[in-house]
Amino acid sequence: MRRFSLAVSAALILSACLTVVPAQAHDGPGALGIDNCTAGACHFDVPPGTYDVRVLLGGDAGSSTAISGETRRSLLPETSVAAGERIARSFTVDVRTPEGEPTGPDGTPGLDLAIGGSAPALADIRVTPAARHTRQILLIGDSTVCDQPADPYSGWGQQLPQFLRKGVSVANYADSGESTVTYLGNPRLWGTVQPLIRPGDLVLIQLAHNDKTTDEATYSANLETLVTGVRDKGGRPVLVTPIVRRWFNADGTLNNNTALLVNGLGVDHPAVIRSVAAAEHVPLIDLTAKTKALVESLGVEGSKAIYLYNEKKDNTHTSVHGATVYAGLVRDELLARHLVPRGTVRVG
Cα atoms in the 13 Å half-sphere on the side-chain side of 340:
29
Nearest to 111 by CA among 93, 133, 85: 93
Query: How many of the other CB atoms lie within 10 Å of CB of 260?
Result: 21
On whether the CB atoms of residues 179 and 211 are closer than 8 A, the answer is: yes
On whether the CB atoms of residues 22 and 56 are closer than 8 A, the answer is: no
Q: Give me the pLDDT at residue 267, please.
A: 98
Taking phi over 0 as left and psi of -120 to 50 as alpha, with beta for the rest, 42 belongs to: beta
DSSP characters over 139-172: EEE-TTTS--SSTT---HHHHGGGGB-TTEEEEE
- Cα 22 from Cα 14, distance rounded (Å): 16
Nearest to 65 by CA among 42, 84, 43, 89: 89
**Burial category of 257 from C-beta neighbours within 10 Å (exposed 0-12, middle 13-18, buried 19 and up):** middle
Helix axes 269-280, 216-232, angle to 10 degrees: 40
On whether the CB atoms of residues 97 and 82 are closer than 8 A, the answer is: no
Query: Helix or strand or coil: residue 315?
Result: strand
Distances (CA, A) of 208 to 48, 54, 138, 342: 30, 37, 17, 29
Q: Where in the chain is the domain with CATH 2.60.120.260?
A: 2-129
Domain 135-344 has CATH 3.20.20.70: no
How far separated are the first and last CA of the chain, in Å rounded? 29
On whether the CB atoms of residues 57 and 86 are closer than 8 A, the answer is: yes
DSSP characters over 5-72: HHHHHHHHHHHTTS----HHHHT-SS--SGGGEETTEEEE---SEEEEEEEEE--SS-EEEEEEETTT
Cα 116 off chain centre by: 18
Q: Where in the chain is the domain with CATH 3.40.50.1110?
A: 135-344
On whether the CB atoms of residues 57 and 63 are closer than 8 A, the answer is: yes
What pLDDT tens digit does each residue of the chain (348 aa) get? 333 333 333 333 333 322 222 222 233 434 599 999 998 999 999 999 999 999 999 999 999 999 999 999 999 999 999 999 999 999 999 999 999 999 999 999 999 999 999 999 999 999 999 998 899 999 999 999 999 999 999 999 999 999 999 999 999 999 999 999 999 999 999 999 999 999 999 999 999 999 999 999 999 999 999 999 999 999 999 999 999 999 999 999 999 999 999 999 999 999 999 999 999 999 999 999 999 999 999 999 999 999 999 999 999 999 999 999 999 999 999 999 999 999 999 987
pTM: 0.91
Q: Give me the pLDDT at residue 31, please.
A: 59
Q: Give me the pLDDT at residue 39, please.
A: 86
- CATH (residue range 2-129): 2.60.120.260
- What are the beta bridge partners of residue 318? 307
Taken in order 312, 314, 317, 322, is the CA torsion positive or negative?
Answer: positive
